[in-house]
């Protein structure tokens, strides 16, 4: 809306400027004609009328450039031929050619300018001066050609400035789009981290709280063990949550924060899952090489979310985590022998979706962000399997 208002205001100012130019031009041309005639009474009204009409026609040069060019050239030629002295009436043709050079295709503008120059020169030489001795027979065509080149120069300069402005606007939009994309990516990353931390912690706490409430009267020792597990799990979840939210603090916050979790902390995750009622064992084939931080975190979160789904949806089950590394790839497999599809469905594309959240979608996004892939679905012999392949080297 603001841009439209600015364009409308600029158009109105241009129109007023053209009328002012036409008025000033009319005064100048009438004065020049009177000076050439040595007084107003020495020139007839017909010549003055042609002079005024040629000057006022310039007011429409932006809206009707071709019509203005044709009318000013015709009026100037008639005034020179039939109503001498003509003064500087060809100045209106010069302004019309200058405008044509800015708005018309260059070849057409050049042809029209040459025709105008020849017409003015021929009318001066053949009809008014009966020869070519007067300097204006050459000066007027030269002025027309000068107006043509000046119009081209101004047009090129305006086009250059417009292209610079367009590139600057495009660069600004690109920067804004990139900043928005980075903000969206960071928001999605934080959302995944919060989901993984809270889902695992709350799922374990929920299961242990149910166990404690069930055995509180008959087996208080088991209830106490479940409460200790709840305390440890909630402590770990709060610690990870504090680390995640730490990135949102002020830049001058110098409070040290723990490094993000990785496979070196996998034993704590296995212990928590086992204490939640899902016996879990882990097998690492060939040891773990040094991993980039992003790969290490993604692998940990994939295992964490897979075990969280087992705790929440598999029912009575056991889980097996297998990790194998080659020269440039890490393979992760999490299998359970529980109910398999409880809480999980597949969409039309065959991609598994957690009916109560976005766990599998988040795991797949983590794998894809690193250039890997992830598959999740029921096993043929029962249970559920999550398999992920992650490149060990970070994508450039």
pLDDT at site 298: 87
User: Cis omega before residue 85 (within 30°)?
Assistant: yes
Bridge partners (DSSP) of residue 213 are none
> Is there a contact between 56 and 27 (Cβ–Cβ < 8 Å)?
no
- Whether 2 shows a pLDDT value over 80: the answer reads no
What is the C-alpha end-to-end distance of the chain, expressed in Å?
42
Predicted TM-score of the model (pTM): 0.48
Q: What is the mean pLDDT of residues 95-110?
A: 89
- Whether 59 shows a pLDDT value over 70: the answer reads yes
| Residue 333 binned pLDDT confidence (cut-offs 50, 70, 90) | very high
| 196-205, 207-216, 381-390: which is most confident | 381-390
pLDDT at site 387: 92
pLDDT at site 37: 58
Q: Where are the domains of the chain?
A: 2-172, 278-396
Per-residue HEC secondary structure of 188-257 comes to: HHHHHHHHHHHHHHHHHHHHHHHHHHHHCCCCHHHHHHHHHHHHHHHHHHHHHHHHHHHCCCCCCCCCCC
Alpha carbon 206 to chain centroid, angstroms = 44
Q: What is the DSSP string of 287-343?
A: ------HHHHHHHHHHHHHHHHHHHHHS-S--EEEEEEE-SSEEEEEEEE-S-SSTT
- Whether 232 shows a pLDDT value over 80: the answer reads no
Q: What is the mean pLDDT of residues 188-213?
A: 75
Q: What is the mean pLDDT of residues 167-194?
A: 83
Q: What is the mean pLDDT of residues 92-112?
A: 89
3 state DSSP class of 62: coil
Alpha carbon 376 to chain centroid, angstroms = 35
351 phi/psi in degrees, rounded to 5: -90, 130
> Is there a contact between 266 and 283 (Cβ–Cβ < 8 Å)?
no
- Whether 118 shows a pLDDT value over 70: the answer reads yes
- Whether 17 shows a pLDDT value over 70: the answer reads yes
| Residue 386 binned pLDDT confidence (cut-offs 50, 70, 90) | very high
| Residue 88 binned pLDDT confidence (cut-offs 50, 70, 90) | confident
Q: How many CB atoms lie within 10 A of CB 218?
A: 8
Task: Give CA–CA dist 77/253, Å, rounded.
Answer: 82
Question: What does CATH list as the number for 278-396?
Answer: 3.30.565.10
Q: How many CB atoms lie within 10 A of CB 377?
A: 17
**Which letter does DSSP use for residue 392 in this model?**
S
pLDDT at site 259: 64
- Whether 388 shows a pLDDT value over 90: the answer reads yes
pLDDT at site 274: 84
Residue of 306 and 25 predicted with greater confidence: 306
Q: What is the mean pLDDT of residues 209-217?
A: 76
256: Cβ contacts below 8 Å, ≥ 6 apart: none
> Chain-wide mean pLDDT for the chain?
77
**Which tokens is 14 given?**
């241009």
- Whether 251 shows a pLDDT value over 60: the answer reads no
> Is there a contact between 129 and 137 (Cβ–Cβ < 8 Å)?
yes
């Amino acid at each position: 809306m603001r841009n439209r208002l600015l364009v409308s205001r600029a158009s109105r100012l241009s129109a007023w400027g053209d009328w002012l130019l036409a008025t000033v031009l009319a005064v100048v041309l009438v004065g020049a004609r009177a000076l050439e005639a040595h007084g107003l009474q020495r020139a007839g009204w017909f010549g003055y009328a042609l002079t005024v009409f040629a000057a006022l026609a310039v007011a429409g040069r932006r809206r009707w450039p071709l019509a203005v060019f044709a009318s000013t050239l015709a009026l100037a030629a008639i005034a020179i031929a039939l109503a001498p002295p003509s003064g500087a009436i060809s100045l209106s043709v010069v302004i019309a050619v200058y405008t044509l050079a800015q708005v018309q295709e260059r070849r057409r503008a050049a042809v029209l300018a040459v025709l105008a120059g020849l017409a003015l020169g021929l009318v001066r030489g053949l009809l008014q001066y009966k020869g070519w001795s007067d300097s204006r027979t050459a000066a007027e065509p030269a002025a027309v050609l000068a107006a043509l080149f000046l119009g081209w120069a101004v047009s090129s300069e305006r086009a250059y400035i417009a292209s610079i402005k367009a590139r600057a606007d495009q660069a600004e939009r690109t920067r804004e789009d990139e900043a928005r994309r980075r903000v969206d990516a960071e928001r999605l990353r934080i959302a995944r981290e919060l989901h993984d931390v809270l889902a695992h912690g709350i799922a374990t706490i929920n299961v242990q709280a149910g166990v404690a409430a069930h055995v509180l009267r008959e087996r208080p020792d088991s209830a106490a063990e479940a409460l200790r597990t709840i305390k440890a799990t909630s402590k770990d979840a709060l610690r990870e949550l504090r680390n995640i939210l730490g990135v949102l603090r002020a830049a001058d916050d110098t409070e040290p924060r723990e490094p993000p979790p990785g496979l070196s902390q996998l034993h704590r995750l296995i212990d928590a899952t086992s204490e939640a009622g899902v016996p879990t064992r882990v097998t690492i084939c060939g040891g773990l090489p040094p991993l980039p931080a992003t790969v290490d975190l993604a692998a940990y979160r994939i295992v964490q979310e897979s075990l969280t789904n087992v705790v929440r949806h598999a029912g009575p089950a056991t889980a097996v985590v297998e990790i194998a590394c080659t020269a440039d790839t890490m393979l992760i497999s999490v299998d359970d022998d529980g109910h398999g599809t409880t809480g999980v469905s597949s969409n039309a594309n065959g991609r598994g979706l957690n009916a109560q959240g976005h766990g599998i979608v988040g795991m797949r996004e983590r794998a894809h962000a690193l250039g890997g892939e992830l598959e999740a679905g029921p096993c043929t012999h029962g249970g559920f399997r999550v398999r992920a392949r992650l490149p060990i080297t970070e994508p450039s």
